[in-house]
Amino acid sequence: MSNPVQGKGMDVLDSQEQVRFETLVLPHLDAAFNLARWLLRSRADAEDAAQEALLRAYRFFHGFHGGDARAWLLQIVRNTCYSWLDKNRRVKDMTEFNEEVHGLPSPSPETLAIAGNDRERLSEALKSLPPRYREVIVLRELEGCSYKEIASITAIPIGTVMSTLSRARRQLQLALGNGAAQEATHGM
């Protein structure tokens, strides 16, 4: 695995800060990976981005003065993933789309019907959402974040978290193919 950040000049926390880092941040490694995994839709990309984000968190840890460590870490992960997406979008525009690397485009109903099991069905539907909807679903439903935490991680104003979630969920319901009733009563 390539490691663009760590090098000889890598900061090392003193033992007190190292303990604080391990106590506060390490419990959220899976949360970091899970968010990266869903934002980037590929395990390999997610590993690279999670690694980059964690090294960044490590390096800037002295700037974290308490509060919600998970939200702080996930914010870094999210920013790293968005830079990643921006960078790759430019590359992707010029190259052939590679399913293996970049995940799948929006699934057709046929794809969904073929994707038999629940996990695959949900996974395809979730992947078809734009990242800004996908992340609020992941943060709320998988990570159990409060609206306040979602706001601080995603930089969405707290007042619009609810409506963003509303749109994200409706789109997910539609992608899952059981939101037809919703669509009929609410325009998107």
Residue type, 96: E
Query: Minimal CA–CA distance to 168: which of 142, 114, 83?
Result: 142
Contact between 164 and 133 under an 8 Å Cβ cutoff? The reply is: yes
Which residue of 4, 8, 16, 63 would you call a contact of other proteins, by CB under 8 A? 16
d(CA 26, CA 73): 10
Work out whether 102 is an interface residue with other proteins (CB under 8 A).
no
Which residue of 101, 112, 115, 176 would you call a contact of other proteins, by CB under 8 A? 176
d(CA 31, CA 35): 6
Work out whether 30 is an interface residue with other proteins (CB under 8 A).
yes
Which residue of 66, 110, 119, 157 would you call a contact of other proteins, by CB under 8 A? 119
Query: Minimal CA–CA distance to 10: which of 45, 47, 61?
Result: 61
Work out whether 13 is an interface residue with other proteins (CB under 8 A).
yes
Work out whether 58 is an interface residue with other proteins (CB under 8 A).
yes
Distances (CA, A) of 70 to 43, 56, 125, 139: 21, 14, 26, 11
Work out whether 70 is an interface residue with other proteins (CB under 8 A).
no
Contact between 120 and 111 under an 8 Å Cβ cutoff? The reply is: no
Which residue of 47, 88, 92, 111 would you call a contact of other proteins, by CB under 8 A? 47
d(CA 107, CA 186): 22
Size of the site for other proteins (CB under 8 A): 55
Which residue of 49, 55, 129, 156 would you call a contact of other proteins, by CB under 8 A? 55
Beta-carbon contacts of 19 under 8 Å, excluding residues fewer than 6 positions away, are none
With CB under 8 A as the contact rule, which of the stretches 63-71, 72-80, 94-102, 176-184 interacts with other proteins?
176-184
Residue type, 102: H
Q: Which positions touch other proteins (CB under 8 A)?
A: 1, 3, 6, 12-13, 15-16, 18-19, 21-23, 26-27, 29-30, 33-34, 37-38, 43, 46-47, 50-51, 54-55, 58, 118-119, 121-123, 126, 137, 140-142, 144, 146-147, 162-163, 165-166, 169, 172-173, 176, 178-179, 181-182, 185-186
